[in-house]
Every structure is written in structure tokens, then in C-alpha cells.
Amino acid sequence: MNLPLFVFRGIEKSFSGKKILCGTNLSLYPGKCILLSGKNGVGKTTLLKIIAGLETPESAEIEYDGRINDWKKILRKVRKEIIYLHQQPIMFSSSVESNVAYGLRFSSLNNQQRCESVKEAIEWAGLSNVAKIQAKTLSGGVQQRVAFTRAWILKPKVLLLDEPMSNMDYESRKQTFLLLEKVKSTGMSLVITSHFLNYFDDLADQHFRLMNGVLDLTNNY
Amino acid sequence: MNGLILTTQQALQLLFTGDPELWSIVLLSFSVSLKAILLSTPLAFLVSFALSHGNFPGIRIILAVFNSLLSVPTVVIGLFLYVLLTRQGPFGDLKLLFTQTAMVIGQIILCFPILVALGYAAIQAADRRVWETARTLRAPPWFSMLTVFFEVRFALLAAIITGFGRIISEIGISMMIGGNIMGYTRNITTAIALETSKGEFSQGIALGLVLLLLSFLLTTLMSYLQGQKDFLE
């Protein structure tokens, strides 16, 4: 196995005095997919948000580039490399094209490169027919694909997907699955939370169950 | 009855013949109130955002203070500023009393809590995921904040319109610290009060009509914005 991209150690988090995560550990490898399961409210989303730098843990350490860092010190780096996708994605009030281009504003690409990149990403995701449409008016399944493309275009090292296939019909699930396969083959690390484990049998390399604040490896495919 | 009809006719005549005195009063009102709203909006919305997305102690107390300031009578603000700006007051040396600047300051104090409270409500109504999505897509905090503002732009515009409607129709501050000086600090409301006390109703009614028309336009604009918001959602 390759060296891990990130190793998260000792993640602690509580809400209203109740411990949700108790020293949770997780290693993310390039081109590997981790499936996370667990009961509702067990802390899966919280764990993903902490990994993405969107939620503050009480304590956590991150191993990156062979060095162990305090969570706060490496937060900026984490945010550059890891992108989190919500269960129900938020579309900004603009076209699909503008939504996909959102994060590129903060890259070093010039205008022309950005346009080309957006066009390529939209074609890659099969969204060309809705590129000019107001993103908020699209169905949940297509919005999920737009959100996915919007993240993929930034080429993060890790993509965190929170219940990516909930509320999707069979066709949308199939298309999203194909996109996930394509992404994984490019070397991106994926972490997916889901209640529908069989959807990801062919994609996941490891399956962890979150229980009592710790991750339990239940399957190594 | 005849008197009322005659006065209204005279008022309309003043309005439509472009009476310079009347229109200078209208212009001054708009100038002062626009300056006040433009100066207070950015900071007020920043405060709203900090209260909505911040995580620091005392947020509830600060919100309660702003909410209670919503109903402060304008004469109290006028009195407070008068005491500060009068020649014997702590800021007397600035010689701001009975100036447009003093009126602008007073109106800023009046509309600031309105903008903060309504801005806070608007931003709170925005999904937290907007901020999170912007941040995870590598937007810096200031751009993520602008993204949230853009997503609730109609509600924020409605807050600005409400604030503007409140300050252009206030009289307590303008009278007490403006001094109702013709051509300098006389605005629509102080002019109406003066003309009415003199028994000259025609100019008062004409100015009243301007305020009513403005109120109608602002309400229409708010309904339109509400419609736009519903359409997008």
C-alpha cells in the first residue's frame, strides 16, 4: 500500500456534554475509497466535517508529509486538499457553469484557462445539456452531480461524500457511481458515508463502522 | 371641505410646477438619508454576519440590545446627540450641532439597529451549508461571507429599504439636531411640522404626498423583491 495522504489521530468531539467522537483514527490513501457506516446521529457527518476543516474538534492530530501536526496548525493545508460534499448539496443562485467555476476563482488559472477547465469538467460529468440552466431549478440527482463536478474540478487529494446517493433514483445513482469510479481511478482518495452499503461494494476498499465514537474496521475488500 | 380641496390643488401645483423651495427640501431629505443608509449598511451587515456565524460569548445579549434599540423614540436619540454636540457637550468643539452631518449621524444611529436585526434574521435564514460549501471550495472567509450575502440579497435589500423608510420619515432627530434651517437642514418632515404650525397647509400636503409616494414605491419594491426571492426558491 502507498504512503497515506493524511492520518487523522485522536479526534475528540462532544456536543452538549455528550462525547460523539472518542479518539477516532482514520488514514486516507491515494486512490482508495473508504466507506463509513453507522446509525443516524452517531457522528459520521461530524467526523467528515472535522476532516474537511469545517468543524472544530476538541483535540486531533494530523500526520501529513511524514510529520505529526496539531489540527489547528495544519488546518489551512487540510482545506486546500480536502473537499466535503453535503448530503443535500447547496447550489449557488447562478447557472450550472458558474457553480462549477466557483472554486476556480481562487486558483492561479487565468480567465481563459478557467473557461476551458469548466467546459472540460462539464463535458466530463455529462452536464453539457444543463450548463446554462439555473442550478437551483435542477433535480436533486443532477444537483448532486453538479456539486460533485464543482469539487472535482479543483482536483483535491481527498473527496468526502456524505450520503451521496440518498434520494436518488436508479438512473442518477448509476451516473453518480460512474463518476465516482472515474474519480477514484485518477488517484483521488474518497470517503463515503452511506446506509446503503451494497451500492458501494465495487468501489470501496475498506468499510468502517462508527460506533461509540470509534471506527471499527468491518471489511477490507 | 372646499378648503381642503383648494389646499390639495395648491399642493399639487407646487409639486408639478417644480417649486424650487419644495424640491430643495425633498432633495436635502434624500441626500441626508441616503448618506446615512450607505454609511451604516456595510458595518451593520458585518455585525449581522458576525452575530450569525460567530462563536463568541455574549451574542444573545448583543442581539437583545439591538432588538431593544429598534423601538427607541427618535426624540431620545435627538436629545442624546444634542447633549453630546451642544457647545458645552463633550463634542461641542466639533461644531456639528444644526448641521447635515449631525443629521446623518443621528439617522445612522436610528437605522443601524434595524439593519443589524433584519440583516441577522436574513442571514440566519440562509442555510449554514452556503458558508460551508464556499469554505470547502477554497473561498477565503471574506468571499464566503459575500457569497452568503448574495444568497440572501433580497432579504438584505428589504432590510435596507426598511431602514431607509424609517430614517426618511423620522422627525425627532432632524428637528432636535438639525434645527430646521431653511436650505440647510430643513427636510420633508421638519418642513411639514413647521408649515402646519404656521397654518400653511399646501406645502405640508405637497411634502406629505412625496412621503406617501415614496412609501408606496418602497412597499412595491419590497413586494417585487419578495416575489424574486420566492421565484428563486
- Residue where the block lists cell 372646499: B2
What range does the domain containing B65 cover? 21-232
User: A162 - beta bridge partners?
Assistant: A193
More confident residue, A116 or A3: A116
Please determine, for residue B57, whether its predicted confidence score (pLDDT) is greater than 80.
yes
Mutate to test the interface with B, among A15, A46, A54, A138 (most CBs of B within 10 A): A54
**Stretch A151-159: mean pLDDT:** 94
Which residues in chain A have their CB less than 8 angstroms from residue B132's CB? 49, 54, 84, 86, 90
Per-residue model confidence (pLDDT) at position A92: 96
| Farthest-apart Cα atoms in chain A, separation | 51
The CA distance from A64 to B107, in Å, is 54
Residue B62 included in any domain: yes
Partner residue opposite B130 with nearest CB, options A49, A88, A90: A90
Strand order in the sheet with A6-15: A18-28, A6-15, A59-64, A67-70
- Mean pLDDT over A194-210 rounds to 88
Helix, strand or coil for residue A140? helix
Residue A151 has pLDDT above 60, yes or no: yes
Q: What is the least distance, in Å, from the CA of B74 to any CA of chain A?
A: 38
Average pLDDT over residues A84-106: 95
Residue A101 touches chain B, beta carbons under 8 Å: no
The pLDDT value given to residue B223: 81
Q: Which amino acid is at B34?
A: L
CATH code, domain carrying B179: 1.10.3720.10
CA B129 to CA A39: how far, in whole Å?
A: 22
| DSSP reduced 3-state for A20 | strand
Q: A147 near A172, Cβ under 8 Å?
A: no
The residue with cell 493524511 is A6
The pLDDT of residue B89 is 93
Q: What is the pLDDT of residue B218?
A: 85
Residues paired with residue A70 on neighbouring β-strands, in sequence order = A61
- Please state the domain count of chain B: 1
C-beta of residue B171 within 8 angstroms of C-beta of residue B193? yes
Q: pLDDT band at residue A221, thresholds of 50, 70 and 90?
A: low
A11-15, B20-24, B120-124, B220-224, range with the lowest pLDDT: B220-224
Mean pLDDT of B143-168: 94
- Cross-chain residue pair B129–A150, CB shorter than 8 Å: no
For residue A218, pLDDT over 70 is answered with yes
Instruction: For chains A and B, count residue pairs whose Cβ atoms are closer than 8 Å.
Output: 57
Residue A144 with chain B: CB contacts under 8 Å: none
pLDDT at position A72 is 81
pLDDT, residue B16, reads 85
- Evaluate whether residue B127 is within a structural domain: yes
Angle at B109 between CA B96 and CA B194, to 5 degrees: 65
Asked whether the predicted pLDDT for residue A105 surpasses 70, the reply is yes
Query: What is the pLDDT at residue B19?
Result: 86
CB spacing of A86 vs B132 below 8 angstroms? yes
Whether B12 is covered by a domain: the verdict is: no
Residue B10 within any structural domain of the chain: no
Q: Average pLDDT, stretch B59-79?
A: 94
For B153, which residue in chain A has the nearest alpha carbon? A93
Segment A50-57 shows an average pLDDT of 93
Give the rounded percent of residues in chain A with a pLDDT score beyond 90.
Answer: 62
Measured between beta carbons, the chain A residues lying within 8 angstroms of B136 are 52-54, 79, 82-84, 151
Across residues A91-114, what is the average pLDDT?
Answer: 94
Q: What are phi and psi of A24, to 5 degrees?
A: -70, 140
Average pLDDT of chain A is 90
- Is residue B144's pLDDT more than 90? yes
**Contact assignment for A79 to B232 by CB distance below 8 Å:** no
Binned at pLDDT 50, 70 and 90, residue A1 comes out as: low
In this predicted structure, the answer to whether residue B233 has a pLDDT above a threshold of 70 is no
When pLDDT is averaged across residues B73-101 and rounded to a whole number, the result is 95
For chain A, list the strands marked E by DSSP: 6-15, 18-28, 33-37, 59-64, 67-70, 82-85, 158-162, 189-193, 206-211, 214-220
pLDDT score, position B14: 82
pLDDT at A152 over 90: yes
- Asked if A92 is an interface residue toward chain B (Cβ–Cβ < 8 A), one would say yes
Output the pLDDT for position A64: 87
What pLDDT does B164 receive?
93
| Helical spans, DSSP H, in B54-187 | 59-69, 74-85, 100-125, 128-136, 141-151, 153-168, 172-173
Regarding predicted confidence, which is higher, B11 or A209? A209
- pLDDT of B231 > 60? The answer is no
pLDDT in the model for residue A100: 97
pLDDT-derived band at B229, boundaries 50, 70, 90:
low
Has residue B205 been placed in a domain?
yes
Q: What is the pLDDT of residues B36-55, one digit of tens each?
A: 999 999 999 999 999 999 88
Q: Please say if the pLDDT value at position B90 is more than 90.
A: yes
Of the candidates A82, A93, A150, the beta carbon closest to that of B150 is on A93
User: What does DSSP say about strands A158-162 and A189-193: parallel, antiparallel, or unpaired?
Assistant: parallel
pLDDT confidence of residue A30: 92
What's the whole-number mean pLDDT along residues B55-64?
A: 92
Mean pLDDT within B117-129:
94
> What are the CA-CA distances from residue B104 to residues A27, A157, B31, B118 (Å)?
59, 53, 9, 21
C-alpha cell belonging to residue B98: 444644526
CA of B126: which chain A residue's CA is closest? A90
Residue in chain B closest to A147 (alpha carbons) equals: B133
pLDDT on residue B146 = 97
| Residue B212 placed within a domain | yes
Which chain B residue lies closest to A84 (C-alpha atoms)? B136
Residue A70 has pLDDT above 70, yes or no: yes
Cα(A169)–Cα(B122) distance, rounded to whole angstroms? 34
**B232 pLDDT band (50/70/90 cuts)?**
low
Domains of chain A: 6-220 (3.40.50.300)
Lowest mean pLDDT among A39-48, A104-113, A170-179, B71-80: A170-179
Confidence tier at A50 by pLDDT (50, 70, 90): very high
Average pLDDT over every residue of B1-17 = 80
Provide CB contacts within 8 A for B113, sequence distance 6+. B66, B67, B69, B70, B72
In angstroms, the CA A55 to CA A42 distance is 16
CA distance A151 to A84: 8
